[in-house]
Amino acid sequence: MKTPNRDLLVLVKDEYHNESMMQHELQELNRLLYHFETLDTIAVAHEVFDVNRGKVIERHAGVKKILGNKVLKPFQFACNKN
């Protein structure tokens, strides 16, 4: 599995974690994020507001098609459904 280039800020309450436990925790977080940060899961959780056409695209396939482009067109906004 390719390790992504990301910065993670991990806050822990337990000051007794040693370095190996922290490395294991970071590896598990990276493994989880690798599987959850896909275009499919992002398309399910987002909708696209297209101001040019006056539409809200909510369908999974439509959102996936638009977000698959490297850059959104002007006045297209991806918004999280939460």
At 28 the three-state DSSP class reads: helix
Tokens of 25: 């925790």
- Name the residue range of residue 25's domain: 1-37
33 and 52 housed in the same domain: no
1 and 29 housed in the same domain: yes
Total domains in the fold of the chain: 2
What pLDDT, on the 0 to 100 scale, is given for residue 51? 95
Between 71 and 15, the more confident residue is 71
Tokens of 1: 């599995």
Q: Residue 49's beta-bridge partner residues?
A: 56, 77
Q: What is the mean pLDDT of residues 30-41?
A: 87
Is 0.85 surpassed by the pTM of this model? no
pLDDT tens track for 37-67? 889 998 999 999 999 999 999 999 999 999 9
